[in-house]
Structure 1
Amino acid sequence: MQAFLISTGVVALGEMGDKTQLLALLLAARFKRPWPIMAGILVATLANHAAAGWLGAGIAAWLGPQLLRWVIGLSFIAMAAWMLVPDEADEAPGGTGRFGVFGTTVVAFFLAEMGDKTQIATVALAARYASLAAVVAGTTLGMMIANVPAVLLGDRVAKKVPMRLVHAIAAAIFGVLGVATLLGVGGTP
């Protein structure tokens, strides 16, 4: 029970203001369908955190902290640039592309969690506690505690704020995260 409770608390707190919380807000604003988004977050987090428990430490050790920092930093900057590219879904509210809302959310969240502090926390917690299931369940619940309110708020934000502005703000945040990561600011790997 201790592994579950500590994992839940650490991730719920660590996720506040994180890029995946921003992603939850953006997905909700874009698609305006909270239930498939929340289900997608759940599935992506379970898959990502289970993989983190088994593989994360090995991958981080293989890449090394310097290469990992560059990969993550450049990925953030690429995401910032991508956020500025308008797409058809922005012009037609509710457009989901070929994966649908659920599939888009699963893929986006899974990828956004790669190298994220909550994924790294999951690796560390899995190394600390014998019960991988308790750690993965706890970190997943922590993600849901942090991101469900963002999903529910996102639809309200979408009705009042133009998507172009939301994308510009998101791009700025991802750009700052990328530069900070490359500079080693904030304890990023």
Structure 2
Amino acid sequence: MAHGARRKAASGETNGIDAFLSGRAECDGGIVSVAESPARRFSRMDALLTSCALVALAEMGDKTQLLAMLLATRFRKPVPIILGILVATLANHFLAALVGHSIAGVLTQPWFRYAVAASFIAMAAWTLIPDKIDEDAPLKAPSKAGVFLTTLVAFFLVEMGDKTQVATVALGAQFDNLLAVTAGTTLGMMIANVPAVLFGEALARKVSMRALQLAAALLFLLLGLWMIADLQGWIG
């Protein structure tokens, strides 16, 4: 009888392990899924580094980077300009990542994942389109506080609907990690814009913006194709 009990216990343990490995577990007569969604498989570092790299490259030659150069040329006060860009980006990209994060929590069906993949591929094409900004727009700020507020408002508004904001929404949906995506995209924006503020036109003359835009487009394309391959089960 003791041997039978041990066999039964061992059998129950084995069945429990098999159920877990198959992605299901029994609880109170019901079946509970323990499989994680695709977005949950990524670590915080994956989300942060990918977001940073994509946005840093996508920002090269973007209209917000052109705005940063314009502000630096007009005001010649780099510290309040950089702080204004930082605060504006944190606020804007937090909202964008929040939208993506919220959507990912509601829409977990495969078609939505395909839509996110398609958005990355579309971003690849969008990145290749050069941006322009009105250099004759009136920008006047007599003090450091005025420069900060002018930069904050201008940068936040120009970033609305921009490719880097749209990319942040898609990244928030893909990785489902709000803070890591916000931190990564903000870091990417600062990597691209701080040198633009400090060195301005000299940097633009020495760095091939077209080459950086092509690199960003390639990264967006590869990420979109990778997502499709993962959804199709072509990636182990």
> Which TM-score band applies after superposition, normalised by the shorter structure?
0.5 to 0.7
Structure with the larger RCO, 1 or 2 (CA within 8 Å, 6+ apart): 1
Q: CA RMSD in A?
A: 2.8
Larger radius of gyration: 2
Q: How does 1:105-116 map to 2 (within 5 A)?
A: 105-116=151-162
8 Å CA contact 1:27–1:154 kept in 2: the answer is no
1:17 corresponds in structure 2 to 61
Rounded Cα–Cα distance in structure 2 between residues aligned with 1:129 and 1:156: 36
Rounded Cα–Cα distance in structure 1 between residues aligned with 2:153 and 2:188: 19
Rounded Cα–Cα distance in structure 1 between residues aligned with 2:85 and 2:144: 18
Q: Which one of 136, 157, 171 corresponds to residue 84 of structure 1?
A: 136
8 Å CA contact 2:77–2:144 kept in 1: the answer is no
1:7 corresponds in structure 2 to 51
Q: Name the aligned partner's letter for residue 61 of structure 2.
A: G
8 Å CA contact 2:55–2:167 kept in 1: the answer is yes
Rounded Cα–Cα distance in structure 1 between residues aligned with 2:82 and 2:172: 24
8 Å CA contact 2:72–2:81 kept in 1: the answer is yes
Runs (4+) off by over 4 Å: none
Rounded Cα–Cα distance in structure 2 between residues aligned with 1:25 and 1:35: 13
Q: Name the aligned partner's letter for residue 52 of structure 2.
A: T
The structure with the greater share of residues assigned to helix is 1
Q: How does 1:69-80 map to 2 (within 5 A)?
A: 80=134
Rounded Cα–Cα distance in structure 1 between residues aligned with 2:184 and 2:78: 22
The alpha carbon displacement at 1:147 in A equals: 0.3
8 Å CA contact 2:73–2:200 kept in 1: the answer is yes
TM-score (norm 2): 0.50
SS at match of 2:61: coil
SS at match of 1:50: helix
Q: How does 1:31-180 map to 2 (within 5 A)?
A: 31-55=75-99, 80=134, 83-84=135-136, 87=138, 89=140, 95-96=141-142, 100-154=146-200
Rounded Cα–Cα distance in structure 1 between residues aligned with 2:194 and 2:90: 15
> Residues 149 and 18 of structure 1: is their aligned pair in 2 closer, same or farther, counting only changes over 3 Å?
same
Rounded Cα–Cα distance in structure 1 between residues aligned with 2:143 and 2:200: 19
The alpha carbon displacement at 1:84 in A equals: 3.2
The alpha carbon displacement at 1:101 in A equals: 0.6
The alpha carbon displacement at 1:153 in A equals: 1.5
8 Å CA contact 1:28–1:155 kept in 2: the answer is no
The alpha carbon displacement at 1:11 in A equals: 0.2
> Residues 99 and 45 of structure 1: is their aligned pair in 2 closer, same or farther, counting only changes over 3 Å?
same
Flag structure 1 segments of 5+ consecutive residues without an equivalent.
59-75, 90-94, 158-189
TM-score (norm 1): 0.62
The alpha carbon displacement at 1:128 in A equals: 0.6
8 Å CA contact 1:32–1:155 kept in 2: the answer is no
The alpha carbon displacement at 1:155 in A equals: 8.7
Flag structure 2 segments of 5+ consecutive residues without an equivalent.
1-44, 104-130, 204-236
8 Å CA contact 1:29–1:156 kept in 2: the answer is no
8 Å CA contact 1:28–1:154 kept in 2: the answer is yes
Rounded Cα–Cα distance in structure 1 between residues aligned with 2:92 and 2:49: 19
